[in-house]
Amino acid sequence: MTLEYDLYWSFRSPYSYLITPRLLALETEYDVHCRVRPVYPLAVRTPVFFEGRDPLWFSYLMMDTRREAEFLGLPYRWPRPDPVFMDMATGTYPAEQPYIHRLTRLGVLAAEAGRGLPFLREVSAVIWGGEVDNWHESDHLAEAAGRAGLDPGELFSRVESEADRLHAIIEDNQVAQRAAGHYGVPMIAFNNEPFFGQDRMDTFRWRLEQQGLTPRKPA
């Protein structure tokens, strides 16, 4: 029996980037299916979340993400540009964002096409992997979509023509995420149990094994 779970994931989350290769490897090897449900990052959904944060919160985040990437053997650098634009003069996140809404809508389309996890892996590697400046320009995203098994031309056309529909799906994902037990990403929801954070991967797999996780049969 195929085990299924929901994945709530953000293109602005370094921890979402860090968990994705393991989730894709899990689905490749075992009879498990990930329902990819992209959400907007907290900086877009709830900008006040970051107001008044202790400076140690950010410095620890930067140190911990570098350490986790090194531990997992993944290349890593904070994106250039950041997927969420911040007004440096005020330290606030404007409602009008140049990148994150389109990125998240693309993630929904990829999930609908059955290529959600491959798309998240390829695009997040371009954004967070440290080898690409200006990931939003040139053909970087188109090439990532192609590597994920998608038609970039169709994908980019639909992300504009279906913007309202895709935005509504993202909003629904965010409601479902909170109902499942947490607001942060990455978050896995499996059998009415939330697993928040990339450091819950082993716990999640343990729970899958309890529920009868089995290897995929050879094609």
Residue 218 in domain = no
Confidence of residue 93 (pLDDT cuts 50, 70, 90): confident
- Residue 88 confidence (pLDDT): 62
Q: 68 pLDDT exceeds 80? A: yes
User: Mean pLDDT throughout 173-184?
Assistant: 97
The percent of residues in the chain predicted with pLDDT above 70, rounded, is 94
Give the helix/strand (H/E) hosting 205: helix 201-210
Residue 61 in domain = yes
Q: 123 pLDDT exceeds 80? A: yes
Which residue type, as a one-letter code, is found at position 72? L
127/55: higher pLDDT: 127
Residue 196 in domain = yes
Residue 58 in domain = yes
Q: 91 pLDDT exceeds 70? A: no
Residue 219 in domain = no
Give per-residue pLDDT as tens, 26-52: 999 999 999 999 999 988 887 666 666
Residue 215 in domain = no
Residue with tokens 């299916």: 33
Residues 187, 156, 10, CA angle at the centre, nearest 5°? 15
User: Mean pLDDT throughout 8-15?
Assistant: 98
Q: 85 pLDDT exceeds 90? A: no
CATH number of the domain at 118, please.
3.40.30.10
Q: What is the pTM of this model?
A: 0.95
Give the count of domains, the chain: 1
Name the DSSP letter for residue 47.
G
Q: Which residues contact 87 (CB under 8 A, 6 or more apart)?
A: 93, 94
Which residue type, as a one-letter code, is found at position 57? W
Average pLDDT, the chain: 94
CA distance 204 to 189: 9
